Amino acid sequence: MERRVNELLGQMTLEEKIGQLNLISHGPPLRWEDISEGKAGALLNFNSAADVARAQALARQTRLKIPPIFGLDVLHGFRTQYPIPLGEAAAFSPRISRLASEWAAKEAAYIGVQWTFAPMADLSRDSRWGRIVEGFGEDPHLGSVLTAARVEGFRQGGLATAAKHFAGYGAPQGGRDYDTTYIPPAEMYDTYLPPFRAAVKAGSASFMAAFNALNGVPSTANPWLLTDVLRNQWGFDGFVTSDWAGIHELLGHGIAKDGAEAARKAILAGVDMDMMGQLYINHLPGEVRSGRVPESVVDESVRRILRTKMRLGLFERPDTDPARVDSIFPSAETRKVAREVARETLVLLQNRDNVLPVAQGVRSIAVVGPLADAPHDQLGPHAARGHKEDSVTVLQGIRQRAASAGITVNHAPACDLFCRNTDGLQAAVDAAESSDLVIAVFGEPQELSGEAASRTRLTLNGRQVEVLEALAATGKPVALVIIAGRPMELGQLADRIPSIVMAWYPGTEGGPAVADVLFGDANPSGKLPLSWFRTVGQLPYYYNRLPSGRPTLANNRFTLQYIDEAITPLYPFGWGLSYTSFAYKEAAIAKPRLGAGDTLKVSVDLANTGARDGQEVAQLYTRDPVATRSRPLRELKAFEKVALKPGETKRITLRVPVEELGFHLDDGTYLVEAGDIEVFVGGSSQAEAIGKAEIIETIRIPPTERRASISRSTAQ
């Protein structure tokens, strides 16, 4: 491979090399001639087979016939939409993440897409940031497991990945998209970088640099991130693309006076490809000829791109058949998978009086709320080629299921999508009063979530609260289904409404999946991948925080607390109820004294103590109570989703290699210190303490010795 790469490189002119570094989007200002002139090493947003095939034919007119790579944001589906990534994370299941990614990839690959700008590996503790919807939430372990699963799934389905946005993008100040981020290096290594490292280990073909400045140095010109950590410490040998016009934005960041300087800083820091900036193509020839950028730097970037194209087999692949159309999806098979995935992502937040599942005696249901019948909104942001016409809405899902049981459905939206106008409120109250059960579907219209959707208020927008209060006041049992890209501030509603289900944006088959759970055909098993805050003023909020010298004490205001709100979350990280109940018994630590190379093994009997089949996510947390740096109160270290029949008990074993029980110093050194480790096992981050293990020797690993051993098990 390296010989082939170097042979090809040896034949290239400087302009041809720089052409490989240029990533151009479909749509204005695309000049199709750029492709035949060898100025487009990569293309994005070509999402029809006819356009891909046309570009491939043009690329074959170039002297060296190097195929372009076709990229697209395929995050949670192409035509069929699976739940948005934050929801998918709530399944707490690498199997489910792999499955959804694989199918998303298969559909996109069918029409010629080869590369996805996913997975988003940005950890976030701040729901004000709209893009939290694209990730996995607040936990580095969950994030690492799921990011790896997504990379594998996409690859399995035929797409190379770009892990994004490297790095720190999920922690912008004030939750404002594109704002600056300050994260100390040790915190980067411990919290924000592990999911990216997992992407390298899983064999991600590429990375995307983030828009944000990190500690004053924009990620797109950050040699520490792009070269020291990614290449030298982790051994990544794929390529890095900028984000959309990210190199141009170095001018906005105030670290380059003109395009030439921006291009120079980006390539010297380690950005190989310029997405929609045109700065490499316009300025790098001059920068190289004047000696400001060594040609060897350009060569190395070209090598990374050619190597990736060869690994993917792009030189050998036949062109895409222009007759292919995405309208063959959703197929019966993709609908089935989408429904299965969505079912696993629903989180039952509370269920007082067992309002859910729909009881035997219920003869009529009022379905209220604009999001009950919102085929576009349920797809969520970044829905690639998703068509709202393909969606089965929550209302339709409930209607179908209710019909089979002879239950009447009274539908009353109560208000418009943004709930500004409540002309329909009285009709909704009437529908509620004349029904046995109310299913209210409210939340966040899709336009309020995703990129460039930072919010300072996370209460339900418009007059939704007023509508929900009116429904509660009818005295009828109410179940609230929330469709949203992040937790919402529920305030009094959590007291007023007995049963609440978080459904995220559940995708094309969202309606049937929600109905499956509401009617008890599926037992909810999702768990929160982030802490559900009480008020927006608590943000950023996360469970794995450091202890305080003044731990919270009731009746002592000079301890860690707010004077106007509880310090606790409304629902903790890892939380989610079931229609059955589970018990953890007889937890035991296999070997309480652990040396380097050992594994902490915790076994526990997990019992289904209720009357229905169910799945529980068993979670293991640890704490290092005394260390040279203050360590988090709890950290998730292992989890397993287990299916149990009523009355069944399974003994499960959760495993944590000792080398995952440490922490980093600012220089990247990894330290596992001798001493006690407290262990907690249970069904949420409030799991009970089950004992202690002792690490008997201190392990110190220098940064360059923690290289990610890269797996390329399949296609790539």
Which residues are catalytic, by number? 243
Task: Give yes or no for residue 244 binding ligand BGC (CB under 6 A).
Answer: yes
Return the residue of 46, 103, 115, 117 that touches ligand BGC, per CB under 6 A.
Answer: 117
∠ CA 129-375-470, rounded to 5°: 75
DSSP type of residue 190: I
Among 164, 265, 399, 623, binds ligand BGC (CB under 6 A): 164
Q: How far is the CB of 158 from ligand BGC (least distance, A)?
A: 19
Beta carbons within 8 Å of 227's beta carbon, 6+ residues apart: 269, 270
Residues 2 and 50 sit within 8 Å (Cβ to Cβ): no
Supply the minimum distance, in Å, between the C-beta of residue 306 and ligand BGC: 22
Closest CB 116 distance from ligand BGC, rounded Å: 9
- Taking the least distance from each CB to ligand BGC, the nearer of 75 and 415 is 75
For residue 101, with 0-12 CB atoms within 10 Å meaning exposed, 13-18 middle and 19 or more buried, which class applies?
buried
Cβ 81 vs Cβ 334: under 8 Å: no
Say how far apart CA 103 and CA 397 lie, in whole Å. 22
Cβ closest to ligand BGC, residue 92 vs residue 117: 117
Residue 243 CB, nearest approach to ligand BGC (Å) = 5
Distances (CA, A) of 252 to 223, 242, 386, 513: 19, 15, 34, 45
Q: Where are the alpha helices (DSSP H) in 214-317?
A: 223, 249-252, 259-269, 279-289, 295-311
Q: 225 vs 437, which CB is nearer to ligand BGC?
A: 225
Distances (CA, A) of 523 to 86, 87, 407, 600, 610: 20, 16, 20, 31, 12
Distance in angstroms (rounded) separating the CA atoms of residues 482 and 501: 6
Q: Looking at beta carbons only, is 451 or 605 nearer to ligand BGC?
A: 451
Report if residue 115 touches ligand BGC, rule: CB under 6 A: no
Residue 243 in contact with ligand BGC, rule: CB under 6 A? yes
Q: Which residues inside 66-85 make contact with ligand BGC, applying CB under 6 A?
A: 73
Query: Least CB distance from residue 165 to ligand BGC, whole Å?
Result: 6
Does 330 sit behind a cis peptide bond, omega within 30 degrees of 0 on the bond before it?
Answer: yes
Closest Cα to residue 84, out of 282, 341, 324?
341
Token reading at 437 = 């059960």
| Dihedral angle of Cα 248, 251, 255, 259, to the nearest 10 degrees | 60
CB 168 within 8 A of CB 181: yes
- Say how many residues touch ligand BGC, by CB under 6 A: 6
Is residue 197 involved in binding ligand BGC (CB under 6 A)?
Answer: no
**Residue 422 CB, nearest distance to ligand BGC (Å)?**
35
- Rounded to whole angstroms, the Cα distance separating 627 from 401 reads 55
Contacts of 208 (CB under 8 A, 6+ apart): 117, 162, 163, 164, 165, 166, 240, 241, 242, 243, 275
- CA–CA separation, 426 vs 317, rounded Å? 61
Q: Report the residue count for the chain.
A: 716
Cβ closer to ligand BGC: 72 or 618?
A: 72
Considering the complex, state which of residue 143 and residue 477 has its C-beta at the smaller distance from ligand BGC. Answer: 143
C-beta atoms surrounding 36 within 10 Å = 16
Q: Which single residue is written with the structure tokens 């909020």?
A: 541
Query: What beta strand segments (E) does 191-257 contain?
Result: 206-209, 213-214, 217-218, 239-241
**Using rule CB under 6 A, residue 489 touches ligand BGC:** no
Interface map 644-683 toward ligand BGC (x if CB under 6 A): ----------------------------------------
Cα gap 379→506, rounded to integer Å:
7
Find the shortest distance in angstroms from Cβ 178 to ligand BGC. 9
Provide the minimum distance between the beta carbon of 131 and ligand BGC in the complex, in angstroms, as a whole number: 8
Binding of ligand BGC at residue 616 (CB under 6 A)? no
**Nearest distance from C-beta of residue 667 to ligand BGC, angstroms:** 30
**Cα–Cα distance for residue pair 515/392, rounded to 1 Å:** 11
Closest-by-Cβ residue to ligand BGC is 117
Contacts to ligand BGC from residues 403-462, by CB under 6 A: 451
**Minimum CB distance to ligand BGC, residue 382 (Å):** 8
Instruction: Name the site residues for ligand BGC (rule: CB under 6 A).
Output: 73, 117, 164, 243-244, 451
